[in-house]
Structure 1
């Protein structure tokens, strides 16, 4: 009987150690592969950061600055298996806040082991009337309403439609953006983009309407985004100038911004015709990049 009891104890201890060894051998980490299209390098003070959404909570997968893909990250296997969504954000390079910033640029839900991500479902506010940057449209006129000189009207650009004025109406049809994002207008002079100002509303003046160093002295212009280039110089061009032949761009920018150059999302663009008439409406066209896409695999 004693011999039988000893055998039972040995068998039990053996099972215990085998079980422990099996648990010890179980992997605790696994690979997450990210393959994204259209990202551009950020300014020196910012980085991209990936996040898994696990039980409603964000779990960082790490930061990166290179925009060469695919990239693979090693993460906790339980977090990876339980994640329902992947999100990519733009973060300060020196960041004391463990939570994601408001500037979330890509997102997508996992279906099986793959998440198809894009920028529309995170940069664009889903509650807005226009749901995608691809549906954007734009109109503008050449005019210089911030001075009283009518000989330099081709040196200003305003994103409004005066076809049936008065009153003038908004010249831009753009989606409402999520928190952390804003629009910015640009005119490319001598190959250098010069900002017309940032804005979130197409029916209000932009952020630099009062402080613009280029505008005239007869007011701040109409209550729409735009800019007069009447005083000073930029990109080697003395103002006033003639914007005919220049490229006009509307971009989507992180807020706070990561660079003085336009961000990768540019839903609208147009080359001002050489025979454009001042004060007449000109139509913008689709820009070079209205959506960012990618896949994330676990």
Structure 2
């Protein structure tokens, strides 16, 4: 079967790997070493791909346990295809019923330099950015409670109101296909989503359907959430976000889990002394970005 698709900024031809099962085909090993990946739960797996000569072929699938250990690090592959590869790309794929071509969720990539290479999120065939220019501001407020000034510490909105007029509070690069941003409030150790978004100057996907917001519809046109009702099991709303943690994560699309994904470029522990309606600054968390090497 032949299938055309867009991969990064280049178009490649997907080739069937059925001939690799022929005992007469020469095989060689590809070894990978990756730090910072997480368990994807049973429905998804990681899959490597060899890119070269306008072609892309699978380089094997693996899972990761709760300790970040890969289930397999050495893969026996067609020697000619391995030697022809100019780059390696790692994607997230459905574990069952998967399309034979790579998904849009490219998490790591790197070029071969001789017989080895370094893979990271910065490569143009992955997320294409190191997120070093990321920055975030937010306020504690509950604008969807009909104007009441009660429980203002029970909502978080990613905006900057320091000039008296709400402005965009997030500086984040545009994500490639296969990824979305998501805001989180960690309440008593439990992460609760504030909603997914691509644009930082618009309301997030939860704006119209959130079960947590109040009965007023006057939320700002920026990502954020009020935690006023319908609390998840184990939590009580309204709450107090002070002493908790606010997070911006980068999530695969489709999402593999209801919990935050491993990519968390912005994080902030809300001070117990935080004042509502006053701008708070987030911190970069770039140590959470995975990276690795590959050798043939």
State the secondary structure of the residue aligned to 1:184. strand
- In structure 1, the gaps of 5 or more residues are 1-24, 126-130
Instruction: Tell me the equivalent position of 1:124.
Output: 127
Instruction: Give distance in 2, aligned partners of 1:55 and 1:27.
Output: 19
Q: Distance in 1 between matches of 2:274 and 2:110?
A: 43
CA distance in 2, matches of 1:72, 1:183: 33
Q: Could you say which residue in structure 2 is the equivalent of 1:111?
A: 113
Question: Structure 1 residue 72 and structure 2 residue 71: aligned?
Answer: no
Is residue 2:37 matched to residue 1:39? yes
The equivalent residue for 1:16 is none
Equivalence for 1:219: 217
Q: Secondary structure at the match of 1:267?
A: strand
Structure with the largest fraction of helix: 1
Asked if structure 1 preserves the Cα contact closer than 8 Å seen for 2:121 and 2:130, the reply is no
Equivalent residue for 1:241? 239
- Summarize the alignment of residues 126-141 of structure 1 with structure 2, pairs less than 5 Å apart: 131-141=129-139
TM-score normalized with structure 1 length: 0.86
The answer for the alignment partner of 2:164 in structure 1 is 165
- Cα deviation code 1:106-156 (max 9, x no counterpart): 00110100111001224435xxxxx42232111100011111211111110
Question: Structure 1 residues 276 and 123 mapped into 2: Cα distance closer, same or farther (>3 Å)?
Answer: farther
Shift of 1:293: 0.9
User: Secondary structure of 1:81's partner?
Assistant: helix
| RMSD of aligned residue pairs (Cα, Å) | 1.7
Moved more, 59-68 or 135-144: 59-68
Contact 2:151–2:238 under 8 Å retained in 1: yes
CA displacement 1:212-265 (0-9 Å, x = unmatched): 000011105111110000112125221111111111111110000001111111
Structure 1 residue 38: deviation in Å?
0.3
Select the structure of larger CA radius of gyration: 1
- Count of aligned residue pairs for this structure pair: 268
Call closer, same or farther: CA 1:207–1:220 in 2, change over 3 Å: farther
CA contact (8 A) 2:30 2:294 kept: yes
Separation in 2, partners of 1:278, 1:295: 45
Check whether the contact 2:262–2:289 (CA below 8 A) recurs between aligned residues.
no
Match of 2:60 among 59, 62, 71: 62
- Partners of 2:267 and 2:212 lie apart in 1 by 22
Shift of 1:288: 6.1
Aligned partners of 1:296 and 1:123: how far apart in 2?
A: 15
The one-character-per-residue Cα deviations of 1:133-189 (angstroms, maximum 9, x if unpaired) are 2321111000111112111111100000011132x1111111111100001111111
| Structure 2 runs not aligned, ≥5 long | 1-22
User: Could you tell me how far 1:98 is from its partner in structure 2?
Assistant: 1.1
Counterpart position of 2:154? 155
User: Please, which of 184, 187, 191 is the counterpart of residue 186 of structure 1?
Assistant: 184
